[in-house]
Amino acid sequence: MSVRRGLVAGRTSATEREVTREEAQRIAVRAQLLDGSAKTVLETVRHLGFLQLDPIATVATPQELVLWSRLGSHDRGALERLLRQRKLFEWNAFLWPIEALPVVRALMRRWRRSERYSHERRARQFLRDNVAFRRYVRRELERQGPLLSRELEDLSAGGRRNHRWYGARRVGIMLDVLHLYGELAIVGRRGNQKLWDLAERWYPETETLSLHEAERMLAAHAFRNLGVRHEKGRWLAHPDVSAAPVPDRVMVLSPFDRLVYDRDRAEALFDFRYRIEIYVPPARREYGYYVLPLLAGHELVGRVEPLVDRKAGTMRVLGAWGDTSRLDEALVPLAAHLGVELEQRLPVTRRGSGPSSRSSAARSRRS
């Protein structure tokens, strides 16, 4: 299997060039396909390298929003279909193009060998304490797989304590550890529940890459995918991405969108301070629970907190900040894509008016 397509396509070493901040903004937007150049779901995932998965869907899941911001209206069942066709695969809460499997297998080997971090040591100790449980899980999947977690007995050793993510049952821990190690694969879903099977029955054969080569490929792709990097006060651009003006599109972005995922980089590049506040107590939030950045052309101009009520078939705007004069251009088509209607009411602006503004109360709390 070739790994030169998608995740690691193009140059693996690049001669960077220095650009102005405005040029860097345009390059970053274009490199992330936020210029309207994306064509299909599969090509988009291949270009981006991966899609981060998360279940939070106050509007839509992050993976859906990332595709929407690039493709606009598209087949919402495409990701599930591409997974069934094995053109994509899921690992470690990301969707990857199948061409990236050799790279990911190197990361799986790192998981199996590393004890650098406490969570890696805990995973290894869990397997040491549960040799028989591991054999049972593999045997049941070999005989009857694919299976849901609830279709496997909890034969784990040790006392029963509620885990903050897994509860009292430890089947999920075993499945996740073996998945990270590359022994098990997520082969689909039944409803929202993962279907598990042996990795050798799901993943194709691939060439073997060293961890060093895999990390080099990931770094090369990250530079091409992000377009620019900030070093010692200078913006350095990848040579393959144009700094020409980008179309004047207006889109909301997922909090997990790679344009804003590195919060410090986003602030330096766009003068846009952005944090996700889902774990912040309501009284201490600067903006809202799940606020989305608003991109217009090559600038982050504001933010909005929409909320979809699927039973009512509506999208409400709980708050908006910054330049929201073109908010409907972003939300009306998104609501239509999700099959709901945008409630036509003026959004309430509170706690700051600019895209990167902060209320004095919030500033005083942090000082």
Cα–Cα distance for residue pair 316/14, rounded to 1 Å = 45
Confidence (pLDDT) at 115: 85
Asked if residue 320 lies in contact with residue 347, where contact means CB atoms within 8 angstroms, the answer is yes
Q: Which helix (H) or strand (E) holds 341?
A: strand 341-342
Q: Which helix (H) or strand (E) holds 230?
A: strand 228-231
Cα–Cα distance for residue pair 237/316, rounded to 1 Å = 39
Structure tokens at 316: 């409400």
Cα–Cα distance for residue pair 32/27, rounded to 1 Å = 9
Q: Is 347 helix (H, G, I), strand (E, B) or coil?
A: coil
Determine the angle formed by the axes of helices 21-31 and 211-226, rounding to 10 degrees.
120
Tell me the whole-structure pTM to 2 decimals. 0.88
Confidence (pLDDT) at 239: 95
Pairing mode of beta strands 314-322, 341-342: parallel
Q: Which helix (H) or strand (E) holds 231?
A: strand 228-231
Asked if residue 228 lies in contact with residue 27, where contact means CB atoms within 8 angstroms, the answer is yes
Per-residue pLDDT of the chain (367 residues; tens, 9 = 90+): 444 444 544 444 458 999 999 999 999 999 999 999 999 999 999 999 999 999 999 999 999 999 999 999 999 999 999 999 999 999 999 999 999 999 999 999 999 998 888 989 999 999 999 999 999 999 999 999 999 999 999 999 876 666 666 667 899 999 999 999 999 999 999 988 999 999 999 999 999 999 999 999 999 999 999 999 999 999 999 999 999 999 999 999 999 999 999 999 999 999 999 999 999 999 999 999 999 999 999 999 999 999 999 999 999 999 999 999 999 999 999 999 999 999 975 555 544 444 444 333 333 233 2
Cis peptide before 347 (omega within 30 of 0): no
Is 56 buried (19+), middle (13-18) or exposed (0-12) by CB count in 10 A? middle
Largest CA distance in the chain: 62
Cα–Cα distance for residue pair 49/176, rounded to 1 Å = 22
Is 230 buried (19+), middle (13-18) or exposed (0-12) by CB count in 10 A? middle
Confidence (pLDDT) at 200: 96
Determine how many CB atoms are found less than 10 A away from the CB of residue 274.
20
Confidence (pLDDT) at 160: 61
Is 323 buried (19+), middle (13-18) or exposed (0-12) by CB count in 10 A? middle
Cα–Cα distance for residue pair 148/150, rounded to 1 Å = 5
Q: List Cβ neighbours of 215 (8 Å cut-off, separation of 6 or more).
A: 106
Is 119 buried (19+), middle (13-18) or exposed (0-12) by CB count in 10 A? exposed
Scanning the chain, the segments in alpha helix (DSSP H) are 21-31, 41-48, 62-71, 78-84, 101-113, 118-129, 131-144, 171-180, 199-202, 211-226, 263-270, 327-338, 360-366
* Amino acid identity for residue 161 in this structure: R
The DSSP annotation for 289-339 comes to SS-EEEEETTEEEEEEEEEEETTTTEEEEEEEEE--TTHHHHHHHHHHHHT
In degrees and rounded to multiples of 5, residue 82 shows phi and psi of -65, -30
Confidence (pLDDT) at 161: 66
- Of 23, 1, 3, 13, the closest CA to residue 241 belongs to 23
